[in-house]
A = this chain, B = another copy of it.
Amino acid sequence: MLNKYMTMALGEARKSKKDIPVAALIVKNGEIVSLQINKREEDNQTIAHAEILAIIEANKKLNNWRLDDCDMYVTLEPCPMCAWAILNARIKNLYFGSVDLKYGAFGSAIDLSKLANSKINVKGGILEDDCNQLIKDYFENLRNEK
């Protein structure tokens, strides 16, 4: 199941045109609630990371700012902004692919779940090679274009 949802997120992330390809998927009781990609450049919005857009969509669909019993799958370890939004939304299980040593806020650069005193269950490294490759390809293409 972890690989199935992460594969779906990876497929969505590949649709990114202008932005670093990252996708976030929210699942509740086996049903997909939201699936979004990073659109900071495309939407010209500071906060338009995949996780934030997925939370906004889920809030609307479930008509609740508390996303109880929801799991999130995201191709890259969340930054502090997204991490705190995830913790505030009460996401139950968080699964991420690539590790972000510079800004990852679930243990790599910092661990915000400790500050929140949250019981969130976090597991990184899901389809890690595929997630790493996706971002690597993006930056390689960017260099080739220049």
Residues on A lying within 8 angstroms of B by beta carbon are 40-41, 43-48, 52, 55-56, 59, 63-67, 79-85, 88-89, 103, 105, 109-110, 112, 115
Which listed residue (B64, B82, B103, B115) contacts A115, Cβ 8 A?
Answer: B103
Report the separation of the CA atoms of residues A80 and B109 in the bound assembly, to the nearest whole angstrom. 14
Contact B79 A84 (CB under 8 A): yes
Candidate in A40, A67, A79, A81 with the most chain B CB atoms within 10 angstroms:
A81
Which listed residue (B44, B84, B88) contacts A64, Cβ 8 A?
Answer: B44
Residues of B within 8 A of A44 (CB): 59, 63-65
Residues of B within 8 A of A89 (CB): 46
7 smallest beta-carbon distances between A and B, as pairs: A81-B84, A80-B84, A46-B89, A46-B65, A44-B65, A45-B59, A80-B80
Candidate in A40, A65, A84, A110 with the most chain B CB atoms within 10 angstroms:
A84
Report the separation of the CA atoms of residues A41 and B63 in the bound assembly, to the nearest whole angstrom. 11
New contact pairs (12) apart from A80-B83, A81-B84, A110-B110, CB-CB < 8 Å: A44-B59, A44-B65, A45-B56, A46-B65, A46-B66, A46-B89, A47-B88, A80-B80, A80-B112, A81-B81, A81-B85, A84-B84
Report the separation of the CA atoms of residues A82 and B84 in the bound assembly, to the nearest whole angstrom. 9
Residues of B within 8 A of A66 (CB): 46
Contact A65 B84 (CB under 8 A): no
